[in-house]
Amino acid sequence: MKHLAILVLFCLPGCSAHPLIGAERKEDSSTALVQQYLENYYNLARDVKQFVRRRDSGPVVKKIREMQKFLGLEVTGKPDADTLAMIRKPRCGVPDVGQFTTFPGTPKWRKTHLTYRIVDYTLDMPREAVDSAIEKALKVWAEVTPLTFSKIYEGDSDIMISFVVGAHGDFFPFNGSGNVLAHAYPPGPGLDGDVHFNDDQLWREDKSGVNLFLVAAHELGHSLGLFHSNDPTALMFPVYNALTDLTRFRLSQDDVNGIQSLYGSPPVHPDGPAVPTESAPPGPGTPAVCDPALSFDAISSLRGEILFFKDRYFWRRSHWNLEPEFHLISTFWPSLPSGLDAACEVNNKDTVFVFKGNHFWAIRGTEVQAGYPKDIQTLGFPPAVGKIDAAVSDKEKKKTYFFVEDSYWRFDENSQSMEQGFPRLIVDDFPGVEPKVDAVLQEFGFFYFFSGPLQFEVDPNTRMVTRILKSNSWLYC
């Protein structure tokens, strides 16, 4: 086989913690565990005898030192408590020797648009939750490269994703719920690039089981050509970290450096609006980005960027550019009005909806979609609603929230209808948020409510305010 699969191993808590004491004693489970670990991941020859007392330069000791150095442990050459604890943690099964950020031979995709297909789903999670986790995992890599991904529903794709059990036709069988989580293959034709998840595991959106997003993001890194990192903070570190803060997940710089060594940095505006020849020139009446009294008319994400609208201008902020850009709205969308009331991106439609008065428009990139503007009453609002103050679409739940004065409505993107029981008062469901909302943004697992020069960070699970910040803090002020 051209490439070994990448395996995520999970050692049962029942693994022994006895010390390793020498070949003259009966091999205990810890000795066997270290020996197998060195054979699997550090190229220790399988015929090397077990640990020999009073030798500090034999092949096993050298391999232990090599392992400890790679994993960031104290280099003792001994299977001490810290080393044994690290060995028992979940990890990928590809060897660590070589210290590559990419696979030997540097395999990579020779194109920037890749297709993926979920061939078989797990029954542990709703299908839409699986789709969302995979989409989110791919977005992690898309945001820092020129790569784009699209899902297909039949035929062959570049990356085929399956939930399987036991032997499944690739010579790397899974062995139940307590060992291997998943494996993946480096870029290439056929089986290469594919990801297999062990469906004997309990897959979950949160940490009540195996977190699908976290494993998928790591495995898809391998599918794109990344090997392992010896940076413990990296997603591609070989040891699986179930304690990762999912609400604030970010690739480490080491992950970014690795993937960009294969595919380069993202274009200035990946998959988004074309770059205008010039930014908007400053002049009389031009809003100052770091004015402490600055407020926004509307805010929306757009394909990994964030747009902040004010009067006839907008700033665009990206994760890879620390200097926000300032443009005229008309440079990108000549038919849109200035002084927008609200805007929001609906991810599953790859569309940003912008609102002014009782009309709204749909835009994709630089194109305003045909058939717009439409009347907001077509969304299900009563005639008494003449304008919308703010809007935000919940990417995970596929619900769009519309804020009007001191109340809000909720729209179901699946049924394309306004939900019953609304409007509700903002103060009842989001206590601590100012009742007059200018804009709302969803990022990092939080909602950010903008009201005048302030923004309120809200945990969607508790619906409580966790921080109050200046509105322009997103623009590095």
How far apart CA 219 and CA 92 sit, in angstroms, is: 9
Please name the amino acid found at residue 186: P
Is position 219 annotated as part of the catalytic site?
yes
Given 66, 143, 219, 305, the catalytic residue: 219
Residues with a known catalytic role: 219
